[in-house]
């Protein structure tokens, strides 16, 4: 099937014509159908208003997917925003790709997953060398302070501000990646920590060897991460969902790319945040795993 260009209202209306049960990850459970207006899209319905047979398999996948993976990739001024829906029965139903482009949607069924990875390669340049190994695990609040410290290094600050100043910085609304602490807070879906909590997080990062003992300076290892990371050239975010027993499980992974291609992968797991410096190729390998082995994103520790 070629890509079908349509609006969200048209897709929701098509779903309303489908009599299949809607699962926990169904698009039609997340969005509200547009009333009782008739649908006339020639690639979705016949002249009599019934769903075309060739669109039913794709809509059936959308009605009750086993896995849902949203990929957002920003590189320069180019944006990819796509959602992959994996069917309950891959032998009977297609994988569906839904792209959002300038306010409209593009539906592809069956989706060509290798082609999607090639699309990503055109947006995010692979690094020429492997990234120097570095990784750490920190608490949620320590992660916010770590990002705030990286913000300071990017802005040329030689010392880390005190807890009160950092608490204000972390609490700012996220508008762009200019404030990575606010970006991380939004991605982790956290309420901004208090000044006291920020103070404890500073002490925690000092104990982990990422800040000086007094919490006022960044240690060389973290400074090296900042040197590789700025200026930012790309941002990749992968959000996966599954509902094996009716309860929706979520997994989020993000990668920030630096000027030489390598960057910082980070994600929350079991209440802690893992940071790892990796190459772009390694980041794309994570995306490949979420697409071809989506169940691995929800495997128990």
- Is the pLDDT reported for residue 296 higher than 90? no
pLDDT at residue 83 greater than cutoff 80: yes
The predicted-structure confidence for 253-283, as pLDDT tens digits, reads as follows 999 998 887 899 999 988 899 999 998 888 9
Please determine, for residue 217, whether its predicted confidence score (pLDDT) is greater than 60: yes
User: What is the pLDDT at residue 103?
Assistant: 79
Sequence-separated contacts (24+) of 188-193 with Cβ below 8 Å? 188/140, 188/143, 188/144, 188/268, 188/273, 190/140, 190/144, 192/167, 193/141, 193/144, 193/167
Alpha-carbon span 3 to 263, nearest angstrom:
33
Residue 250, φ and ψ in degrees, nearest 5: -130, 145
Strand partners, 224: none
Is residue 87 predicted with pLDDT exceeding 70?
yes
- Residue 250 neighbours by CB under 8 Å, 6+ apart: 239, 240, 241
Q: Who wins on pLDDT, 78 or 147?
A: 147
Burial of 71 (0-12, 13-18, 19+ CB in 10 A): buried
| Strand, coil or helix: 206 | helix
Say yes or no to pLDDT of 30 above 70: no
Per-residue pLDDT, 129? 62
164-196 residue pLDDT tens: 999 999 999 988 888 999 999 999 999 999 999
The structural domains of the chain, with segments of one domain joined by +, span 4-122, 135-298
Percent of the chain with pLDDT over 90: 68
- Once rounded to an integer, what is the mean pLDDT over residues 108-126? 88
Asked whether the beta carbons of 218 and 210 are under 8 A apart, the reply is yes
Q: Is residue 34's pLDDT more than 80? A: no
User: Closest Cα to residue 227, out of 288, 284, 154?
Assistant: 154
Q: Is 92's pLDDT higher than 80?
A: yes
Angle between helices 280-292 and 113-123 (to 10 degrees): 160
pLDDT-based confidence at residue 220 (cuts at 50, 70, 90): very high
Mean pLDDT within 114-141: 84
């Amino acid at each position: 099937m070629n890509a079908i260009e349509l609006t969200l209202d048209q897709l929701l209306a098509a779903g309303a014509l489908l009599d299949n049960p809607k699962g926990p990850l169904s698009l039609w459970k997340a969005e509200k159908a547009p009333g009782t207006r008739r649908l006339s899209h020639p690639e979705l319905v016949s002249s009599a208003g019934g769903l075309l047979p060739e669109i039913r398999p794709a809509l059936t996948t959308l009605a009750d997917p086993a896995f849902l993976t949203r990929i957002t990739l920003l590189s320069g001024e180019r944006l990819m925003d796509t959602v992959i829906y994996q069917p309950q029965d891959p032998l009977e139903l297609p994988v569906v790709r839904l792209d959002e482009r300038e306010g409209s949607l593009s539906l592809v069924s069956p989706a060509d997953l290798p082609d999607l990875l090639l699309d990503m390669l055109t947006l995010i340049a692979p690094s020429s060398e492997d990234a120097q190994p570095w990784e750490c695990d920190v608490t949620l609040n320590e992660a916010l302070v770590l990002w705030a410290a990286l913000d300071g290094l990017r802005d040329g600050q030689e010392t880390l501000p005190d807890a009160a100043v950092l608490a204000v910085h972390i609490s700012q609304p996220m508008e762009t990646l200019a404030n990575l602490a606010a970006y991380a807070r939004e991605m982790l879906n956290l309420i901004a920590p208090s000044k006291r909590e920020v103070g404890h997080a500073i002490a925690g990062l000092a104990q982990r060897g990422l800040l000086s003992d007094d919490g006022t300076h960044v240690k060389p290892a973290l400074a090296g991460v900042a040197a590789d990371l700025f200026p930012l050239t790309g941002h990749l975010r992968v959000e996966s969902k599954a509902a094996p027993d009716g309860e929706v499980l979520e997994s989020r992974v993000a990668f920030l790319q630096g000027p030489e291609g390598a960057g910082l992968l980070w994600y929350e797991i079991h209440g802690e945040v893992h940071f790892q410096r990796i190459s772009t190729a390694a980041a794309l390998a994570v995306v490949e795993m979420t697409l071809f082995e989506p169940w691995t994103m929800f495997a128990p520790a």
